[in-house]
Amino acid sequence: MTPDTANRIDDQVVLVTGASRGIGQATAAWLKALGGDVFGTATSQGGADRISQDLGDGRGLVLDVTDADAIQNTIRTINERAGAVTVLVNNAAITRDQLLMRLKDEDWDAVMNTNLRGLMQVTRACLRGMLKARAGRVVNVSSVVGYSGNPGQSNYAAAKAGVAGFTRSLAHEVGSRGITANVVAPGFIDTDMTRELDEGQRQRLTDGIPLGRLGTVEDVAAAIGFLAGPAGSYLTGQTLHVNGGMYMT
């Protein structure tokens, strides 16, 4: 699968959070191939260095999305180097899985702070430039779990469901300024996490997917690229499910 060059985003400044591996890494590469000037973030210097290897020219930045001051500094750095962010992909997320009766408050808070509050803070920091330009794309990465639920993931599911509500509200607020806000909700994707499952576990996952396979990170990146480019200009407040049919709306 290769990017649709008819849906190019030339001259757009792009920020992808959580871009050192998996979906974020694939998305950053995809948007770069579409012509975007792409920056990516990771929580460690090692992760940022990997992003820079992929994107070149020090495009990898260290960022903890729960740190409001760090977010402002990151956006300021991008503004100084390339201009205002006009395409934002909020992908950074964590899990702290546990059955609710055993779930610690700090694990609930950690997931909410990263997956929902952090997403809000990064979006808010980027909006000023988009509003001034009267153009922009916000694509928030949710999860099938936010719609179907999953045992042991009440915190993660709640945060990812919150992403959808946040995005719809944002779409109402900024649509008149030429800014779209949408959600991509991946299903089970072939990443480092799913590769750790044994063969039996992977088979049980694929048995529940009508298309009979796990998704690829490129499947998700292609959906994000569609929404980020001209082809997605009349879509806002929508959720694009990329799950092989395991959850249907």
Annotated catalytic residue, options 147, 156, 234, 247: 156
Q: Which helix (H) or strand (E) holds 207?
A: helix 199-207
Q: Which helix (H) or strand (E) holds 31?
A: helix 22-33
H helices within 82-191, ranges in order?
A: 105-112, 118-133, 145-148, 154-174
Backbone angles phi, psi at 179, to 5 degrees: -110, 130
Q: What is d(CA 44, CA 64) in angstroms, rounded to the nearest whole number?
A: 9
Quick one: which of 31, 21, 188 has its CA closest to 92? 21
Backbone angles phi, psi at 3, to 5 degrees: -60, 145
Inter-axis angle of helices 45-55 and 22-33, to 10 degrees?
30
Is 247 assigned a catalytic role? no
Residue 82 region, left (φ>0) first, then alpha (ψ -120 to 50), else beta?
A: alpha
Quick one: which of 5, 34, 31 has its CA closest to 17? 31
Q: Contact, 90 vs 116, CB < 8 A?
A: no
- The residues annotated with a catalytic role in the active site are 156
